[in-house]
Amino acid sequence: MTQPASRSPSAAKRRDLTTGPIGSTLILFALPVLGSNALQSLNGSANAIWVSHALGEVALAATANANQIFFLMLGAVFGVSMAANIMIGQAIGAKDIAAARRVVGSCTTFFLALSLAVGAAGYLLTPAILSAMGTPAEARAEAITYLRVIFGAMPFFYFFTFLMMAQRGTGDSRTPFLFSALSVLLDVILNPLLILGVGPLPRMEIAGSATSTLIAQTVTLGAMLVFLYRRGSILVLRPSEWGLLKPDLVVVRALLLKGVPMGFQMIVVSVAAATMMGLVNRYGAHTSAAYGAATQLWTYVQMPAMALSAAVSAMVAQNVGAGRMDRVEKVARVGCLCAIVGAGVPIALLYVLDPWVLRAFLPGDSPSLPIAIHINSMVLWGFVPFGVAFIFSGVVRATGAVWPPLLAIIIALWVVRIPLANLLEPTLGADAIWLSFPIGSCTAVLLAGGYYLWGGWRKGRILPTTSPRGEAPDTGLSPPAGAKDVEPATAP
């Protein structure tokens, strides 16, 4: 006999995002996502501090070069993880637990195979990759050592990313935050111990920094799997359900067709950022340092919109699955308002406190400091429309409409921002670069908003939620073969 819904351990931990107040639900869901993003950024800053102080600038240059590859690999898998998140969310919203389990099984196999392939290929190709990047000769040996350990950790990073996104698809953003905090804590503690060889630990120098990340990620992933298994999560298959690990071609096809464009969007942004850095470097070390300090602040300014976009996608996916398009429109409106406030408030504070905040990255007497203040005076406000564009893109992506957001960001960056900077540079100098940022952001919000208002995304679905071979959708009244913890659907 099936347990009542109120007593099912799995149901108790899944959050229904298709009912209840939208504003508070969205904010409460977004806050842990924001916390996870902030922790990852702080972790990277802490690791850089340890490497630079303990091993010197050459080691820091080595990690900086290696991390460019690492972030590119994570960005590439982000899109596929987001596609899995959306498919799981739509299935949960439709109360189709069988479809959700099929997605989990196929995605588990897909991510394991992908991560192992990337890890092995990356380990072998590390020297060639760093040569292609033009890594400085004096930093090359240390960069190879560091990056090879990171590629060894790639299977754990990829599967951890998948589980984090999948949990958000089920309506749970708190658990990913807690395990992200555990991973960061372990990494921060182990970094100096393994770099310096404290106590019985070996002195590993730059390899110690990468190894601390590997250990932290592996331990946290294991702890998360145990936790999810013990609480009856649908994200961890029982032995009787291992047949679901056989890839479902419909799921894999959706992962690739929808995930690859979203991943490519991250690559487009990364390459555009590198291109803009090249333009900035023309103006010398002081301007480059000022730009680097300013971008440190931009990272945190963008975090609320990024967290809200992830929350909006999860909410919209469940409501699309439940057929609640009325709530989808409300989620979009509330999300845009929250993005405006979330970006506007810190930007307003920075305009007042900028000279003092920037001194965390630049000495008070540095000639770069006034340049950084000038850069922020021209650029910061543009993150408000850019944040709203994030929300529109998060809404339409949750239905499976992945190409319009990609085209919007390509046009904003490669048709408007970068060409505009080059076109105006002879007249305005470096100001042409700074001016191109808000103009590109306004272009992005106009394109994303236009598609939201008039595009055909409302009819989209990323994956049918009916069971295979013509069976009726799983309503929870009877569990699928081999499942023991499927709960009945609750009323919408």
463 vs 247, more confident? 247
* CA dist., res. 398 & res. 382, Å (int): 25
446 vs 35, 83, 267, 314, 392, CA distance in Å? 29, 25, 22, 23, 10
For residue 133, what pLDDT band results from cuts at 50, 70 and 90?
A: low
For residue 420, what pLDDT band results from cuts at 50, 70 and 90?
A: very high
Are 319 and 375 in contact by the 8 Å Cβ rule? The answer is no
DSSP letter for 412, please: I
* CA dist., res. 27 & res. 265, Å (int): 25
* CA dist., res. 439 & res. 170, Å (int): 37
For residue 492, what pLDDT band results from cuts at 50, 70 and 90?
A: very low
Q: Which phi and psi (to 5°) does residue 367 adopt?
A: -65, -15
Q: Which pLDDT belongs to residue 80?
A: 83
* CA dist., res. 182 & res. 220, Å (int): 7
Q: Say if residue 417's pLDDT is above 60.
A: yes
DSSP assignment string, 81-99: HHHHHHHHHHHHHTT-HHH
65 vs 32, more confident? 32
For residue 462, what pLDDT band results from cuts at 50, 70 and 90?
A: low
Are 393 and 450 in contact by the 8 Å Cβ rule? The answer is no
Tell me the mean pLDDT in the region 142-146.
85
Structure confidence by residue, pLDDT tens digits, 179-188: 999 998 999 8
Structure confidence by residue, pLDDT tens digits, 395-407: 998 888 888 999 9
> What token pair was written down for 254?
């959706």
Q: Say if residue 175's pLDDT is above 80.
A: yes
Tell me the mean pLDDT in the region 418-432.
94
* CA dist., res. 88 & res. 165, Å (int): 10
Helix (H) or strand (E) holding 153: helix 137-169
The one-letter amino acid code at 252 reads V
Q: Which pLDDT belongs to residue 316?
A: 92
Q: Say if residue 113's pLDDT is above 60.
A: yes
List Cβ neighbours of 238 (8 Å cut-off, separation of 6 or more). Answer: 482, 483, 484
Q: Which pLDDT belongs to residue 463?
A: 58
Q: Which pLDDT belongs to residue 349?
A: 93
Sign of the CA dihedral 80, 82, 83, 85?
positive
Q: Average pLDDT, whole number, for the chain?
A: 83
Q: Say if residue 42's pLDDT is above 60.
A: yes
58 vs 184, more confident? 184
List Cβ neighbours of 355 (8 Å cut-off, separation of 6 or more). Answer: 369, 373
* CA dist., res. 304 & res. 30, Å (int): 8
Question: Which range, of 69-73, 232-236, 278-282, averages the lowest pLDDT?
Answer: 69-73
CB atoms within 10 A of CB 85: 27
CB atoms within 10 A of CB 200: 5
468 vs 221, more confident? 221
